[in-house]
Structure 1
Amino acid sequence: MSIYHLQAVFRPQSVAVIGGSPRPRSAGRAVVRNLREGGFAGQIGWINPRHPHIDGIATVRRLRDLGWVPELVVITAPAPIVPQLVAEAAELGVAAAIILTAGLGQGPGSLAQRLHSSARAHGLRILGPHCLGVIAPHARLNASIAAHTPQAGDLALISESSAIAAALVEWGVSRSVGFSAVVSLGDSLDVDFADLLDYFAADYRTRAILLYVENISDARKFMSAARAAARAKPVVLVKSGRSRGGTAARSDDTHVQSLASSDAIYTAAFNRAGLLRVGALDELFTAAETLGRLGGTFPGRRLAIVSNGSGVGRLAADRLAMLKGQLAALSPATQQALAQLLPDGAPHANPVDLVVDADGERYARAIEALLADPGNDALLVINVPTAFTSSVEAARAMTRTVAARSRSERDKPVFAVWLGTDEQATTILHSARIPTYASEADAVAGFQHLVRYRQAQAALMETPPSLPEDFQVDRQAAQQLIQQSLARGQRWLDPQATHALLAAYGIAMAPLQLARDVAGVLELAQPLLEAGHTVTLKIHSADIPNKSDVHGVRLDLATLAAVRTGAEAILDSARRLRPEAIIAGVLVQPTVVRAKARELIAGIADDPVFGPVVVVGRGGTAVEVIDDIAIGLPPLDLRLAHELIGRTRVSRILKGYRDVPAADERALALLLVKLAQLAADIPEVRTLDINPLLVDADGVLALDARVAITPTHRLHKGRGHPRFAIFPYPTEWERTIELSNGGSAFVRPVRPEDDGLFRAFFARVTDDDLRMRFFQSVKHFSHEFIARLTQLDYARSIALVALDPRSGEMLGAVRLHADAEYATGEYGILVRSDLKGYGLGWRLMKIMIEYAGWLGLSQVQGQVLRENSTMLDMCRRLGFSVRVDPEDSTLMQVSLPVDGRGLEH
């Protein structure tokens, strides 16, 4: 239901509290007190069947006795009667309910399930149960049991924990940091993280969103909302649960499955969504301090530091180095300005030491010079109280200088550390909205938070390289192979099937054959030896996932006698150490000698929340001990795959060193893309492990692989891949259409790498046609603008491009963006100016309407300039209703009911 009726939670016109008593610790009494003391201007009702008056305020026995219907109810009554109260509120037409009561249970037959059913039937939104409540300072609403009301600001806090929400409220009050809203989710029976991310992403009062996360229940819904929110504003989070690790590894799990911990997968998901994850609550506080006082300014990496003591400046520089930040180099002009300012003999380097007797004037001139220096991206100013100077004077000088900076310098963030206990100085800095920290370490961490956020945003907007033209897979053969294996009751693919599966996706694997006994081993080994190869033997048993556990591998056997001895030893060892295992035989392979190859691991693991993930890292027998892996959520493109490789320590030795040539990282990245595609095509693959994977200058080669398969069970409702947390590229919407001039066009969904296509396309669209589409004259298409057209979350948006099948040129495009409730979609369309009259726009609109039905939308709508008679005429012929926009007479609103026809081509 997403943001439906959430306005009633955060900006209600009326509130009723159900429950409470004269007891000092009564939750209902605390909520009413907070509502009144917070200055809520709407009607407040209080329902209590036992106490006609509490604190001098009259109550009524039942909700319907109020004589008016509140928009929002806050329920603090005992658990057994909460479902009845919710049902009554829903029948009366209440829009939303906040349930503070705990102990409602979970699952079928529980009190929670009963109240949720009655609420959903009437569209009543539920926040909680077992939550702190909601504080919306701009609406003067404190419908919570928090001890204080924070001041109004532009940070939205969403916490799964009531205690964390309450702690952040107290922190905000003590530091004068304001919030647009504070909300605790409690048990998230209805309203969840995704709903609130959708709401606050569109809330103009909110500039940044802070999250405290324990668990995500609906991964696809969360990822879709998080990615949309992160494109609009910063989202910073802290998640608990690092120490618990992932789901307990089973004894027969593959290496990649045991390595893919739950926390690592959460981190990968947050990275993919463009969220900034911090390690602990104090870091969240630091991030909140930074985001709360910097008006949307996000710097580069280079930090300049100035202080009135060399020691604390050097400590700040050391902390910056520890966090992998970059100390700015001072320009010659800045050094010259500092030379005229500082005492003789004082160094003119970063960090800048103003010396212990620095007064306000010296601070002001140094800050002025550093702000003007283009060689730095941000400035940290530190003050140490001394007997020679005034911290207050220095603070005033700093705020005056920062306020007077030029327009070109205003995007450069300035941070402050005023050591000591001078509250007057701190108040001066806070009043100027300068982020102020208790220590140099906190200040540097705050700067790095902004840097990491900027990097996350840049990653969201980057254009990946194109996939090679020969990227082809035999999807049908692979799917048939898996279905046949499942029909035989197999949980693990046999070696030959594994080899065939990888081959279908163009993943090279060392050839192998299976021998049932020693005699069969000798028979298979002899031609390999005669051809000049040595032989590798491996035990084969579905019950022995890790061959090295039973000494089940012999390498580089050069004679038949050595092969015989090796085969006998492998079989004897396996039977002795794992007597219960069913031994299928021995795998025989030519020994692969690639002396300068690096051993990696790559594969697919499966997570109960986020579904399939792609894993890459250091391989070999000690892979769990080394624990050097990176995890990415599919689908992947080459840019994401390269980024994934770069997050491993082993990536350093993929570069060339000494006499070892650089490995082919592109081949490795392409293999990861292929694994992601395999996971997309075949949901039955639960886990796939390639270990070792040899990577060198000649490419990649899998020496061993294991694949576990299971019948598919859905993690996500609705369209698209049943298990992907991120909606994959919708291949099923590729098609060829015929045009009225006898030509044709190939239509496909937009891909992230289509940046160049769009730029060339816009160059062939007239200024007037661009104005008709974007409602204004467009002279320059920035990288960010194009990225927003090509970087799509297919769960919410679709853009279809029509291409010339001969030249590959873009002919036109149509897009559809669904609202958060998946009820209505807004469309836009543009056809190249020299191609009008060929029916391309008509056909693209028909496909768009068909897609809306497939997605389950009930209506498509759009805005069209009143003067755009061609588009309005086409809309009328397609069945759209057309009316004047009530808020802008230059625009027409067009809308069309959708019948859910789906794929009809």
Structure 2
Amino acid sequence: MSVTNLEYLFKPTSVAVIGATNDPRNAGNIVMRNIMAGGFLGPVMPVSSQAEAIAGVLTHPSVRHLPKTPDLAVVCSPLEEVPEVIHSLKERGTRAAVIMGAGFASMSYEESQDIKSTILSIAQPPDIRILGPKSLGFMVPSLNLNASLAHARVEPGKVAFISQSDSLFATVLDWAIDKGVGFSHMVALGSRIDVTFADILDYLGSDPLTRSIMLYVESIKDAREFMSAARAASRNKPVLVIRPGQALDTVLGDLKLRETGDGRHSDEIYDVAFRRAGMLRVEDIDGLFDAAQTLSTPRQVFGRRLAILTNGTSAGILAADRLLVGGGEMAPLSEETIKGIDGVLGEGNWSRANPVDIPFNADGKAYSEVLKLLIKDKNSNGILAMHVPWAAQPDVEVAEAIRDSLKRVRRMVLTAWLGSGKAGQAREIFRNADIPTYETPTQAVQAFLYMAEYLHNQEMLIETPDSLPTDFFPDTSRARDIVRKALDTGRKALTEPEAKDILAAYGIPVVETRIAVSAKEAVIAADALGYPVALKLRSPQVPQPYDVGGVLLDLETPERVWEGAASILARCTRERPDAYIEGFTVQRMGRRPGAHELSVSARLDPVFGPVLQFGHGGMAREMIQDQAQTLPPLSMSLAREVVSRTRISTLLKGTPSHVPADIDDICLTLIQISQLIVDVPQITAIDINPLYADSEGVLALDAKIDIAPFEGEGESRLAIRPYPRELEECVTLKSGRQVTLRPIRPEDEETHRAFLANLSDEDLRLRFFGVVQREFDHKDIARFTQIDYDREMAFIATALTERGEPETLGVMRTNTKPDNSEAEFAIVVRSDLKGEGLGSMLFYKGIRYTKERGTKVLIGQTMLENKAMQGLSRKFGFEIAPDPHDPDLVDMILDMDTVDL
């Protein structure tokens, strides 16, 4: 939905508790006691017709009798009374409500759905934002607000926790209290009829009190909203997620799934989605908090190589073992580091390798000096300093020495002080200094690996995609025509020749194939194709002809084809007498000696839409189970990533007896399939198996495509909006130069860097409201070029230079609020192109786009001295007004209802 009115939910100045009571077992009493005990400073107004006072506060008989309109209402009334309560709250002007919603258990699925619909129709979000029903409530410790049914409260902190599970909400609460962890927010979502993960991610993504966000996710409802919000939030701060995984269906059961309306989905799809959004998935609650602690520090790691410093040999070995098992690497020590440690400890007094095993009685000075040498060693991506307690050992002194040596250090250093007693004091020293600290080597190493994985996901989020190895221009009209004709005949699947025609239309090499309904036609087809050929049975009851001996290869003469058809029919009749035989498929033999057998497929997931799968192919595909999944749209970088997650990717790189396969061609095939399922949304499933791959490229031997009627645009099915090619257009400047106006792409990074470099100092100052450095790093340019087309738009003007190379001439940006109520714009044209009319063209395109997507208001800011920008805005109907907060700025506002295009 949006963040609209969520401030009334999470930053209320007044709270009403509807259905309050003096029954200590009732939700209305528990919430009142929690709010009052928490010390919330605003007025708390219980509504009850049964008691004069609750928790020491006078009650009011109804919502309309409240002395003031509450920002937030906590509704604890019986579920059947909730619609009337929401109606009364809306009349009063309340903007947010938490519905505890006891009573669902006694309702049928249809009854519960009906009451949810009724509540929504009355509340009309975002007029009233609804958390729940069936919510445990939430806490905002910085406001001393505990509007929940929780049995305890937590201290303020920088971590937010959003849970789909009430039980895990309570579990995390206990864990945090025991560990002394504080929270900025704790939220139990309940049934999510309005406020969802996406809404709260949008809200917390810009919350200054929240440094990291933790999620417990069982299922999501709107994949695109979730992905957009998660990607936006994870660009600002760490987002960590825990999900039960493969056992979730068994644990939830059919009743839970019916209640939430969620289907059963592959856990790997969620894993892919989390990774594509730049989030980090962890395995358990301990990992959730350990990773949050590590990621909240300003220090980062940029790889998986760890140096381990310890005064206990076995503890160091345990840490090293956990590192290697988890996919990390032991950092090699440089010669300079080894010599330096020799000078501190003596050549025979330490391991002279990683783990750096120093004497058990090493004091704080020795620890500190060795640690400084490890920090200087560039071979490692992080250091783990461990301490094993020994009799009369200075645990606290060593901890203080390490703390002092890290005051101005930017490298990632983790600590693990084993034991209790003084070890607990040492860990407290580290916590107070914001140095990650853990009780066991396993926890510390896992936290390091989590951080390495998180930063890898972040790099994937902003990685500059490789350019396509070759442009491909699919014959979309041909593909759509094939599908349309098949649908017109009532079919749900294409024939193999039709499927291969579609693949060929999208540039994927295929083996030529014909269909025959008899042995005679099979011979005619083989003669036309040329020998040798392969002959395969066609029967809807036998999806895999190999199972009944229905495939013959290398048939080299008409007689062999005739005899082969007869033998296939005989075997099928014997093995599957119930099967209806449609005929045969005849195809030319695909001769690719030594080629790898791969498979590429696509299917529709009920939540995430189209999902692509790549991996080992051939007859043994199901037995080998070497597949990786991903979500479209794909770039070359993302295609390489999904290929790398399969075991067969190692073989594709080449072996002593095989040259490397053409990885670019494999990746291009994935991109072509990704584009196909967007362009032809009537396709519901694709399966290419086997797909031969070798140094010469790829060749599809077999292909199946399922189809179904579909109305609408193909991109609407995707969890991530693809590049909107339909927004491209060509214009002509006053000079006669041909220019393309189109949405920006991640591949535009280098040309966009050159564009910014060509702006004058004055244009840069006016665009960025002050003096800026001319050097933009990769993260900056990635933020400009890698945008979420659902929320942002950047139209660039691009043209070819005299040498035929692309260059960027100008850009118009809009950034739209999640609820589409308002968009903010910015525009800049290359300094040497002023007067060509390009600024007006870009401005008009941005306004037209904003109008067509239904945005209500388009706004912008510019410096008071920028008269050219103000004049251009007036030309398009903007109102110009002084900024109320800064006398050096002016606001430009356009009511889109007044725009007539």
Quote the residue 1:517 is aligned against.
Answer: 518
Secondary structure, in 3 states, of the residue corresponding to 2:15?
Answer: strand
Secondary structure, in 3 states, of the residue corresponding to 1:594?
Answer: coil
1:2-52 deviations in Å (ceiling 9; x for gaps)? 111111111110111112433332222222222222221111111121122
1:306–1:354 CA contact under 8 A, matched in 2: yes
Deviation, 1:690, is 0.2
Quote the residue 1:325 is aligned against.
Answer: 328
1:135 paired to 2:133? no
Quote the residue 2:338 is aligned against.
Answer: 335
Letter in 1 for 2:7: Q
Deviation, 1:489, is 0.7
Quote the residue 1:840 is aligned against.
Answer: 838
Aligned partner of 1:611 among 586, 609, 612 = 609
**Which aligned pairs between 1:568-587 and structure 2 lie closer than 5 A?**
568-587=566-585
**Which aligned pairs between 1:144-159 and structure 2 lie closer than 5 A?**
144-159=148-163
Deviation, 1:322, is 0.9
Alpha-carbon distance change, 25 to 336 in structure 1, aligned in 2, over 3 angstroms: farther
Deviation, 1:64, is 2.1
Secondary structure, in 3 states, of the residue corresponding to 1:753?
Answer: helix
Distance in 1, Cα, partners of 2:293 & 2:551: 57
1:687–1:708 CA contact under 8 A, matched in 2: yes
Secondary structure, in 3 states, of the residue corresponding to 2:190?
Answer: coil
2:599–2:616 CA contact under 8 A, matched in 1: yes
2:4–2:126 CA contact under 8 A, matched in 1: no
Provide structure 2 residue ranges, at least 5 long, that are not aligned to the other structure: 251-263
Structure 1 stretch displaced more, 70-79 or 46-55: 46-55
Deviation, 1:700, is 0.2
Deviation, 1:866, is 0.9
Distance in 2, Cα, partners of 1:320 & 1:604: 35
Alpha-carbon distance change, 900 to 377 in structure 1, aligned in 2, over 3 angstroms: farther
Quote the residue 1:270 is aligned against.
Answer: 274
Secondary structure, in 3 states, of the residue corresponding to 1:400?
Answer: helix
1:10–1:139 CA contact under 8 A, matched in 2: no
**Which aligned pairs between 1:287-326 and structure 2 lie closer than 5 A?**
287-292=291-296, 294-295=297-298, 297-326=300-329
Alpha-carbon distance change, 471 to 333 in structure 1, aligned in 2, over 3 angstroms: same
Quote the residue 1:732 is aligned against.
Answer: 726
Quote the residue 2:96 is aligned against.
Answer: 96
1:666-692 deviations in Å (ceiling 9; x for gaps)? 000000000000011011100000000
1:594-617 deviations in Å (ceiling 9; x for gaps)? 121000000211101011111110
Distance in 2, Cα, partners of 1:720 & 1:44: 50
Deviation, 1:576, is 4.2
Structure 1 stretch displaced more, 429-438 or 513-522: 429-438
Letter in 2 for 1:496: P
Alpha-carbon distance change, 740 to 37 in structure 1, aligned in 2, over 3 angstroms: same
Deviation, 1:421, is 4.6
Structure 1 stretch displaced more, 264-273 or 356-365: 356-365
1:485-515 deviations in Å (ceiling 9; x for gaps)? 1111110001221121111101111111111
Distance in 1, Cα, partners of 2:575 & 2:516: 21
1:792 paired to 2:792? no
Secondary structure, in 3 states, of the residue corresponding to 2:581?
Answer: coil
Distance in 1, Cα, partners of 2:733 & 2:324: 60
1:617–1:650 CA contact under 8 A, matched in 2: yes
Structure 1 stretch displaced more, 879-888 or 57-66: 57-66
Deviation, 1:291, is 3.3
TM-score w.r.t. length of structure 2: 0.94
1:237–1:275 CA contact under 8 A, matched in 2: yes
Aligned partner of 1:556 among 547, 554, 557 = 554
Structure 1 stretch displaced more, 681-690 or 615-624: 615-624
1:680 paired to 2:675? no
Quote the residue 1:112 is aligned against.
Answer: 116
Letter in 2 for 1:39: G
Distance in 1, Cα, partners of 2:637 & 2:536: 36
Distance in 2, Cα, partners of 1:55 & 1:835: 71
Distance in 2, Cα, partners of 1:62 & 1:561: 92
Quote the residue 2:254 is aligned against.
Answer: none
Aligned partner of 2:864 among 863, 866, 876 = 866
**Which aligned pairs between 1:156-235 and structure 2 lie closer than 5 A?**
156-235=160-239
**Which aligned pairs between 1:673-822 and structure 2 lie closer than 5 A?**
673-712=671-710, 721-778=715-772, 779-804=774-799, 807=804, 808-822=806-820
Provide structure 1 residue ranges, at least 5 long, that are not aligned to the other structure: 247-259
Distance in 2, Cα, partners of 1:40 & 1:623: 60
1:374 paired to 2:378? yes
Letter in 1 for 2:601: G
Deviation, 1:375, is 3.0
2:299–2:410 CA contact under 8 A, matched in 1: no
Deviation, 1:772, is 1.1
Secondary structure, in 3 states, of the residue corresponding to 2:693?
Answer: strand
Distance in 2, Cα, partners of 1:524 & 1:300: 57
Alpha-carbon distance change, 454 to 698 in structure 1, aligned in 2, over 3 angstroms: same
**Which aligned pairs between 1:436-585 and structure 2 lie closer than 5 A?**
436-526=437-527, 533-585=531-583
2:535–2:553 CA contact under 8 A, matched in 1: yes
Deviation, 1:751, is 0.8
Secondary structure, in 3 states, of the residue corresponding to 1:356?
Answer: coil
1:91–1:122 CA contact under 8 A, matched in 2: no
Letter in 2 for 1:758: H
1:299–1:412 CA contact under 8 A, matched in 2: no
Deviation, 1:336, is 2.6
1:88-137 deviations in Å (ceiling 9; x for gaps)? 11111111001112335666862221111111167000001111211111
Alpha-carbon distance change, 844 to 527 in structure 1, aligned in 2, over 3 angstroms: closer
TM-score w.r.t. length of structure 1: 0.94
Distance in 2, Cα, partners of 1:198 & 1:336: 51
Letter in 2 for 1:315: L
2:99–2:131 CA contact under 8 A, matched in 1: yes
Alpha-carbon distance change, 650 to 421 in structure 1, aligned in 2, over 3 angstroms: farther
Letter in 2 for 1:780: E
Distance in 2, Cα, partners of 1:264 & 1:578: 36
Letter in 1 for 2:449: Q
Secondary structure, in 3 states, of the residue corresponding to 2:124?
Answer: helix
Secondary structure, in 3 states, of the residue corresponding to 1:887?
Answer: coil
1:524–1:588 CA contact under 8 A, matched in 2: yes
2:75–2:99 CA contact under 8 A, matched in 1: yes
Alpha-carbon distance change, 95 to 298 in structure 1, aligned in 2, over 3 angstroms: farther
Aligned partner of 1:361 among 365, 373, 376 = 365
Distance in 2, Cα, partners of 1:175 & 1:122: 37
Aligned length: 878
Secondary structure, in 3 states, of the residue corresponding to 2:157?
Answer: strand
Letter in 2 for 1:198: D
Alpha-carbon distance change, 470 to 287 in structure 1, aligned in 2, over 3 angstroms: closer
Quote the residue 2:260 is aligned against.
Answer: none
Distance in 1, Cα, partners of 2:126 & 2:608: 31
Deviation, 1:439, is 1.4
Alpha-carbon distance change, 56 to 40 in structure 1, aligned in 2, over 3 angstroms: closer
Letter in 1 for 2:64: R
2:349–2:359 CA contact under 8 A, matched in 1: no
Letter in 2 for 1:721: E
Distance in 2, Cα, partners of 1:659 & 1:900: 70
Secondary structure, in 3 states, of the residue corresponding to 1:304?
Answer: strand
Secondary structure, in 3 states, of the residue corresponding to 2:493?
Answer: coil
Letter in 2 for 1:486: L
Alpha-carbon distance change, 328 to 38 in structure 1, aligned in 2, over 3 angstroms: same
Aligned partner of 1:282 among 265, 279, 286 = 286
Deviation, 1:569, is 2.6
Distance in 2, Cα, partners of 1:331 & 1:263: 42
**Which aligned pairs between 1:821-900 and structure 2 lie closer than 5 A?**
821-899=819-897
Secondary structure, in 3 states, of the residue corresponding to 2:689?
Answer: strand
Distance in 2, Cα, partners of 1:770 & 1:126: 44
Deviation, 1:313, is 0.6
**Which aligned pairs between 1:383-402 and structure 2 lie closer than 5 A?**
383-402=387-406
Alpha-carbon distance change, 723 to 121 in structure 1, aligned in 2, over 3 angstroms: closer
Distance in 2, Cα, partners of 1:464 & 1:605: 25
2:678–2:715 CA contact under 8 A, matched in 1: yes
**Which aligned pairs between 1:395-410 and structure 2 lie closer than 5 A?**
395-403=399-407, 406=408, 409-410=409-410
